[in-house]
Amino acid sequence: MQTGMSKVAKKRMTTPARRHDGRHRAFSEGAMAARIRKGVADGDVPEGTDCDMLAAYYSAVARGLAVQARDGASRSSRQERVAGREEWPIKLARRLMRLMSGMISR
């Protein structure tokens, strides 16, 4: 029985593009987590919020939306998906989306 990743999978994980993607993902999540921490300090985000977990969550959502955009989903359909999440902290979601928009446009 084989365990672990295959040689091909290991090679794919070490390509320069994958390393770059991993660094970019870590940077983006770190920037989001820092912004969420500022929100906690400013009183916009509740005390006790797991900033790293929330940043990872919003990063996953943003990347999912980016994949949908790449695959042809309209902007309005993506906005509807985000707006449909009433249980999300709306003020925080809007601020994070603005932050991510600025990061993407650079």
Sign, CA dihedral 93-97-103-104, equals positive
CA distances, 20 to each of 24, 26, 61, 77, 91 (Å): 6, 10, 20, 30, 31
Does some domain include residue 100?
yes
Q: What percent of the chain has pLDDT above 70?
A: 64
Does some domain include residue 2?
no
What's the pTM value of the predicted model, to 2 decimals? 0.59
pLDDT value, residue 22 = 76
Nearest 10 degrees: CA dihedral of 27, 80, 88, 22? -20
Does some domain include residue 1?
no
Does some domain include residue 29?
yes
pLDDT digit string, tens, across residues 88-100: 565 666 676 666 6
* pLDDT confidence band for 38 (50 / 70 / 90): very high
Does some domain include residue 18?
yes
Q: Which domain holds residue 23?
A: 7-105
Domain count, the chain: 1
Does some domain include residue 86?
yes
Residue 78 confidence (pLDDT) above 60: yes
User: How far apart are alpha carbons 35 and 93 in whole angstroms?
Assistant: 12
Does some domain include residue 51?
yes
